[in-house]
């Protein structure tokens, strides 16, 4: 402990730090923003989210980006928040990011002052979590995707570090309507009526924005927290996509960085995950697939022969729905950026972090039924029957339904072939019937985590609660209320709390005990039993009190290091071939000579496998406009909304591949002469990868 730390007294009041003989006013910040490409392998790899084995990437619609924000007070305390276009965040990803940062900056960045949050898009590659159940859709661990995330996230933080400057931070909020609904209303309604009456809606409509500006007041970046599942792109989609919140981020950045391509420009705008557990963007609600009639409210099931219970909307297809939801979120964030109704954050920065073994955690609990205090404990991880039923955003398979409270001999027999739950497990998880006893498996590495992180970043009176799971609407409301209450008790000052979902590690869902009792998908996916939320509330309350009182927090047990145990069944690229008398980059199908605005331009190329090079900070395709006698300007890339490319394996034996490229023109597309370029790498059968490119003929837009 330094001499200055020894002098510090446990008092924080209205932005003042008090020392024994010294008074320091903490009134301003240094801030930095950074963004980097973190796109994973766009083809041949399973997507994370729906756990649908048939949903394997075959191209790109929207690239993945990592967006980093650094805050530092006048005393040198520094915190980092990162929102990445990833399904969620993995502990090993954060560990390796911290390792890379410490090699460059020493111990400036550590587990306790860095939060990595995933947006939760269901259309991005999996295979990076190092937990057997979560990586199963990609047939195990995928080093290429893991490395893409680690390197991209690290680069975004490095860029934020290098852009540090004097600045100010403001917070504001608004409401976004017609962008989310509760997909498990029957579970939500099992929460106490007096608690539900405190809130207008079954989902949180509030969007909270943290705006960073430079010393002249020019916007540098913004973090927006809004609760919605990025599941506008459904499980039939095979284009890599950051979904609704990813596109909302791009819209905000392109608005603030005029004439910049996606992923470029000074302003960095993130749409970060919050308590989205039971929140769907499919606002037209669930209906039976073949009849269009409403599904059963409790079980989300349909009569035999009428198809699955699936939610959709607000558009005519998943692409239009993604765009509409994204625009609604973007419009709200854009208005806040220009609003005068903001509150400046001025005060010291602090942070707290702790690991908890959920299988041994014992915490106090007030039982509303008995009106008595008792002790409750966590359970070994397990998934319930309704987990296999899926959700109305992506229904499951077989005869599983949501809200299943009884088991069957058939599925129990199948379950026991993998792992047998103990009598204590069954009692601990009740009323959940256990379908996957993930905590009892004997694979070489963990099926699901047992040790989880909890973390708070505190910017004066603004608290970011980083949770390693998908908290439901009411779980998030209880967590915010608990942290607010802890600050009042300890300091007499109420903090404003946002929940940063899917941060630092992934552990499925967290439903309230009342929602858990209904056993819809969210309750069945609550890993550590009915009092999972109770344990989190207890430890976040302790974290907040420790922060206010400037007490050190014990780090707790570390998650196991299991890198060397990972199973990888996804094969790499062996070699690429090309048809006789053709070469990589040659145009198979040329665009037409002339198009009208609103037409879709199409072309195809002889291609190598896109996994040969992920083209970070680059692009597989450019759409270029002739702006002079011989000057071409790039007006769209493979990260642009209006473009898509699809990779097609033509021959497995000879490794022939094509890439089909589409560019949707619109009413704002300028008249002129255009061309399309394709960039890639091909792999030689004896080793090595080599670059190539191809260019279409010129064509006109009229």
Predicted confidence (pLDDT) per residue in 536-554, tens digit: 999 999 999 999 999 999 9
Predicted confidence (pLDDT) per residue in 458-488, tens digit: 999 999 999 999 999 999 999 999 999 999 8
Residue 24, pLDDT > 70, answer: no
pLDDT on residue 10: 33
pLDDT on residue 27: 61
Beta-ladder partners of 271: 224
* More confidently predicted of 651 and 698: 698
Task: Give the C-alpha distances (Å, rounded to integers) separating 13 from 20, 119, 548, 549.
Answer: 15, 34, 10, 11
- Side-chain-facing half-sphere of 47: CA atoms under 13 Å: 30
Average pLDDT over residues 575-598: 96
C-alpha dihedral (351, 357, 363, 368), degrees to nearest 10: 100
Considering only 68-77, 422-431, 569-578, which range has the smallest mean pLDDT? Answer: 569-578
Predicted confidence (pLDDT) per residue in 376-390, tens digit: 999 999 999 999 999
Instruction: Examine residue 314 and say whether the peptide bond preceding it is cis (omega within 30 degrees of 0).
Output: yes
pLDDT on residue 371: 84
Q: Are 499 and 275 in contact (CB under 8 A)?
A: yes
Three-state SS for 321?
helix
pLDDT on residue 443: 86
Q: Are 300 and 392 in contact (CB under 8 A)?
A: yes
Please identify which of the residues 117, 156, 242, 280 carries the catalytic annotation.
Answer: 280
How deeply is 630 buried, as exposed, middle or buried, from its count of CB atoms within 10 A (0-12, 13-18, 19+)? exposed
Beta-ladder partners of 351: 457
Phi, psi of 195 (to 5 degrees): -75, -45
Predicted confidence (pLDDT) per residue in 169-189, tens digit: 999 999 999 999 999 999 999
* More confidently predicted of 93 and 570: 93
Q: Are 157 and 163 in contact (CB under 8 A)?
A: no
C-alpha dihedral (508, 514, 520, 525), degrees to nearest 10: 20
- Side-chain-facing half-sphere of 264: CA atoms under 13 Å: 15
How deeply is 581 buried, as exposed, middle or buried, from its count of CB atoms within 10 A (0-12, 13-18, 19+)? exposed
Q: Are 476 and 275 in contact (CB under 8 A)?
A: yes
Predicted confidence (pLDDT) per residue in 198-229, tens digit: 999 999 999 999 999 999 999 999 999 999 99
Confidence of residue 26 (pLDDT cuts 50, 70, 90): low
Question: Is-catalytic flag, 334?
Answer: no
pLDDT on residue 590: 98
Q: Residue 631: left if φ>0, alpha if ψ -120 to 50, beta else—which one?
A: beta
Task: Collect all residues with Cβ–Cβ distance below 8 Å to 292 and sequence separation of at least 6.
Answer: none
pLDDT on residue 13: 32
Average pLDDT over residues 230-244: 97
Q: What is the largest CA-CA distance in the chain?
A: 83
Average pLDDT over residues 16-42: 72
Q: Are 93 and 118 in contact (CB under 8 A)?
A: no
Task: Collect all residues with Cβ–Cβ distance below 8 Å to 150 and sequence separation of at least 6.
Answer: 93, 96, 97, 100
């Amino acid at each position: 402990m330094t001499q200055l730390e020894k002098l510090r007294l446990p008092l924080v009041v209205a932005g003042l730090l008090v020392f024994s003989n010294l008074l320091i006013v903490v009134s301003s910040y240094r801030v930095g923003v950074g963004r980097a490409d973190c796109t994973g392998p766009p083809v041949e790899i399973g997507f994370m989210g729906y756990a649908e084995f048939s949903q394997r990437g075959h191209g790109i619609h929207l690239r993945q980006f990592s967006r980093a924000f650094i805050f530092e007070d006048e005393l040198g305390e520094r915190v980092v928040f990162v929102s990445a276009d990833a399904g969620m965040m993995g502990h090993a990803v954060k560990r390796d990011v911290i390792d890379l940062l410490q090699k460059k900056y020493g111990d400036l960045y550590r587990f306790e002052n860095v939060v990595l949050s995933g947006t939760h898009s269901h259309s991005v590659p999996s295979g990076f979590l190092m937990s057997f159940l979560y990586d199963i859709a990609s047939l195990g661990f995928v080093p290429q995707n893991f490395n893409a995330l680690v390197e991209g996230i690290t680069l975004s933080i490095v860029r934020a570090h290098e852009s540090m400057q004097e600045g100010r931070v403001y917070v504001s909020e608004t409401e976004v309507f017609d962008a989310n609904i509760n997909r498990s209303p029957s579970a939500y309604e099992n929460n106490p009526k007096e608690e539900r009456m405190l809130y207008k809606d079954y989902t949180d409509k509030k969007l909270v924005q943290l705006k960073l500006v430079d010393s002249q007041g020019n916007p540098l970046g913004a973090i927006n927290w809004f609760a919605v599942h990025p599941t506008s792109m459904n499980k039939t989609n095979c284009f890599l996509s950051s979904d609704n919140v990813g596109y909302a981020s791009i819209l905000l950045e392109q608005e603030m960085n005029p004439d910049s391509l996606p992923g470029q420009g000074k302003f960095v705008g993130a749409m970060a995950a919050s308590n989205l557990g039971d929140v769907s963007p499919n606002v037209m609600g669930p209906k039976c697939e073949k009849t269009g009639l409403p599904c059963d409210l409790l079980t989300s099931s349909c009569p035999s022969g009428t198809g699955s219970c699936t939610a959709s909307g607000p558009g005519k297809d998943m692409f239009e729905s993604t765009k509409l939801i994204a625009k609604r979120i973007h419009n709200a964030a854009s208005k806040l950026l220009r609003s005068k109704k903001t509150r400046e954050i001025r005060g010291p920065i602090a942070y707290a972090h702790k690991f908890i073994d959920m299988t041994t955690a014992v915490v106090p609990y007030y039982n509303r039924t008995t009106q008595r205090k008792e002790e409750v404990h966590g359970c070994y991880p397990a998934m319930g029957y309704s987990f296999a039923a899926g959700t109305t955003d992506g229904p499951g398979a077989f005869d599983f339904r949501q809200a299943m409270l009884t088991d069957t001999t058939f599925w129990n027999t199948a379950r026991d072939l993998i792992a047998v739950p103990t009598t204590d497990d069954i009692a601990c998880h009740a009323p959940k019937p256990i379908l996957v006893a993930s905590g009892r498996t004997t694979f070489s590495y963990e099926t699901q985590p047992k040790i989880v992180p909890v973390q708070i970043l505190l910017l004066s009176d603004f608290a970011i609660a980083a949770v390693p799971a998908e908290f439901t609407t009411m779980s998030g409301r209880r967590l915010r209320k608990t942290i607010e209450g802890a600050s009042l008790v300890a300091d007499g000052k109420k903090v404003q709390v946002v929940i940063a979902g899917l941060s630092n590690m992934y552990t499925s869902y967290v439903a309230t005990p009342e929602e858990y009792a209904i056993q819809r998908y969210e309750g069945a996916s609550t890993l550590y039993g009915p009092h999972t939320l109770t344990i989190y509330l207890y430890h976040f309350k302790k974290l907040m009190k420790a922060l206010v009182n400037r007490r050190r927090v014990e780090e707790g047990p570390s998650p196991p290091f299991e890198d060397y145990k990972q199973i990888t069944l996804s094969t790499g690229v062996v070699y690429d071939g090309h048809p006789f008398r053709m070469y990589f980059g040659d145009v198979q199908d040329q665009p037409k000579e002339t198009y009208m605005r609103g037409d879709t331009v199409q072309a195809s190329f002889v291609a190598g496998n896109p996994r040969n090079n992920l083209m970070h900070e680059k692009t597989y395709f450019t759409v270029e406009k002739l702006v002079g006698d011989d000057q071409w300007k790039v007006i769209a890339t493979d990260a642009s909304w209006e473009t898509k490319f699809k990779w097609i394996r033509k021959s497995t034996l000879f490794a022939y591949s094509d890439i089909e490229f589409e560019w949707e023109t619109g009413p704002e597309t300028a008249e002129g002469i255009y061309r399309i370029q394709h960039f890639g790498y091909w792999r030689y059968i004896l080793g090595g990868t080599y670059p190539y490119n191809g260019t279409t003929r010129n064509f006109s837009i009229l």
